[in-house]
């Protein structure tokens, strides 16, 4: 088989080729997958889209873990009399990590449902919140560690 032949055709025939025995346009009988708010709607998307959605979920989880590592690092910074700022910054980073983990789940579920229903993908404002928090804490630490 030539390499080009391993690429499935587009449309329902292509999805059929990827998705085992599932028909692209009919709900699967006896489908009990959880959560029903996702799998109870629409029909099977192209698995490549589901895999991409899964990787986006994992990227948010890794962002959350990165913020947690940052939180522990800020916790160890010695700011002398501004110790309270380091403590508040570390706690704020951990809370932002919590927000990222929640967004990971919410984004995965909303995107998977949109894919199943062939709707435009949802957006979220979590990214701008994370960037703002990180920039503010970095600026505060930079200023206090130089002039503090």
Partner 1 sequence: MVYRPDGLQQERTILAWRRCALGFVVISVLITRTALVAGQPVIGVAGLATIAVAVLVLRLTMRRRPWRRPSAKPPHGLAVLDDGRLPALIAGVAMTLCCLIAALVWLA
Binding site residues, partner 1, CB under 8 A: 1, 6-8, 16-21, 33-35, 38-39, 47-48, 50-52, 54-55, 57-59, 61-62, 64-66, 68-69, 71-72, 74-75, 87, 90-91, 94-95, 97-98, 100-102, 104-105, 108-109, 112
Shortest distance in whole angstroms from residue 22 CB to partner 1: 10
Distance CA 142, CA 148 (A): 9
* 34/147 with CB nearer partner 1: 34
Distance CA 29, CA 6 (A): 29
The closest of 109, 115, 144, 84 to 15, measured between CA atoms, is 115
Coil/strand/helix, residue 46? coil
CA 123 from centre of chain: 11
* 61/134 with CB nearer partner 1: 61
Shortest distance in whole angstroms from residue 4 CB to partner 1: 12
Shortest distance in whole angstroms from residue 83 CB to partner 1: 11
Pull the structure tokens for residue 81. 């009399």
């Amino acid at each position: 088989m030539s390499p080009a032949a391993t690429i499935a055709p587009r449309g329902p025939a292509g999805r059929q080729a990827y998705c085992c025995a599932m028909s692209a346009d009919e709900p699967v009988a006896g489908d009990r997958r959880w959560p029903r708010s996702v799998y109870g709607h629409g029909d099977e998307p192209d698995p490549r889209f589901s895999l991409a959605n899964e990787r986006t979920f994992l990227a948010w989880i890794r962002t959350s873990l990165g913020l947690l590592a940052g939180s522990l690092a800020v916790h160890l910074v010695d700011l002398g009399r501004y110790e309270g700022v380091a403590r508040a910054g570390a706690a704020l980073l951990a809370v932002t990590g919590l927000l990222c983990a929640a967004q990971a789940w919410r984004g995965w579920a909303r995107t998977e449902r949109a894919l199943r229903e062939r709707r435009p993908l949802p957006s979220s404002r979590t990214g701008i919140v994370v960037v703002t928090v990180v920039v503010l804490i970095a600026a505060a630490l930079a200023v206090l560690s130089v002039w503090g």
